[in-house]
């Protein structure tokens, strides 16, 4: 089998479905949903502020990010709402980074590429600082797979020699800053046991794809799968 480019994301590797992972690898879908675009916008705004060493959300940087990611929303009469939400989430993230001493000192939106077997796994870690991996979430729901996602990022970063184990993982639900004035922060330890579990998980999936091909794994996520019309 030729090497495949597989995105490390909740919707691909975390699906646990060999068919989805393989199909997404060879023919990735482009999710144009507002939620995804808004998440991209907020991530961009945070990283641009942090790279510039800013501790306060800057109007010009927020507006520039909006124009880059969602340029047509001003025409929809929703620009003020969009700006306000982006600004508040950005400020919430900056306050967290500042509290950790990570403004201008960490790596933001770090691209990751690691080869395992016949596969090339690609992903982007939101923040990597020393032995600390941070992931921003702009949705209002908590999912246990979010921690698994950071565990996979940490595994890949360990493979690249960027971090050591044990390390700290943090999922930050910055959307909660809109509702309650501060984000929900979920910290957890990632150790060798976690590393071994991720290693087994990935190798099992890849072995299944190599030996059995695009076999489906049915579950609740099937109803949201972009390939469901092709999957019988």
Kindly list the averaged pLDDT for each block of 10 residues, start to end, along the chain of length 232. 53 83 76 81 98 97 94 78 95 97 96 86 93 93 86 94 94 93 94 93 88 84 84 77
Q: Quick one: pLDDT at residue 10?
A: 46
Is residue 119 in a domain?
no
**Residue 57 domain flag:** yes
**What length does the chain have?**
232
Q: How many domains does the chain divide into?
A: 1
Say how far apart CA 67 and CA 71 lie, in whole Å: 4
Q: Is residue 50 part of a domain?
A: yes
pLDDT for res 209? 85
Does the residue 53 lie in any domain?
Answer: yes
Sorted by sequence, the CB contacts under 8 Å of residue 26 that are 6+ apart come out as 4
In a domain, 26, yes or no: no
* Mean pLDDT, the chain, whole residue set: 88
- Is 60 part of any domain? yes
**What integer pLDDT is reported at residue 7 of this predicted model?**
52
Q: Is residue 41 part of a domain?
A: yes
Q: How many CB atoms lie within 10 A of CB 153?
A: 25
pLDDT score of 132: 97
> Which run of H or of E encompasses 223?
none
Long-range Cβ contact pairs of 28-36 (< 8 A, separation 24 or more): 29/226, 29/227, 31/226, 35/138, 35/139
Residues 130 and 51: their CA atoms lie apart, in Å, by 16
The answer to whether residue 3 sits within a structural domain is no
- Check residue 31 and give its pLDDT: 59
Domain region containing 83:
33-105
């Amino acid at each position: 089998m030729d090497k495949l480019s597989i995105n490390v994301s909740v919707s691909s590797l975390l699906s646990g479905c060999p068919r989805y992972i393989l199909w997404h690898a060879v023919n990735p879908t482009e999710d144009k949903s507002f939620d995804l675009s808004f998440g991209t916008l907020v991530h961009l705004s945070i990283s641009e502020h942090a790279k510039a060493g800013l501790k306060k959300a800057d109007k010009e940087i927020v507006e520039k990010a909006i124009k880059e990611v969602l340029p047509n929303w001003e025409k929809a009469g929703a620009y003020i709402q969009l700006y306000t939400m982006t600004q508040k989430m950005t400020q919430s993230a900056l306050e967290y980074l500042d509290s950790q001493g990570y403004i201008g000192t960490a790596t933001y939106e770090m691209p990751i590429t690691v080869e395992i077997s016949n596969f090339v796994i690609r992903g982007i870690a939101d923040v990597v600082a020393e032995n600390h991996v941070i992931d921003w979430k702009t949705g209002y729901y908590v999912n246990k797979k979010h921690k698994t996602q950071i565990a996979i990022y940490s595994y890949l970063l360990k493979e690249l020699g960027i971090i050591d184990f044990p390390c700290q993982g943090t999922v930050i639900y910055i959307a909660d800053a809109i509702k309650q004035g501060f984000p929900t922060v979920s910290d957890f330890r990632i150790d060798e046991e976690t590393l071994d579990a991720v290693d087994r998980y990935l190798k099992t999936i890849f072995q299944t794809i190599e030996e059995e091909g695009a076999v489906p794994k049915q579950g609740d996520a099937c109803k949201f799968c972009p390939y469901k019309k092709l999957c019988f």
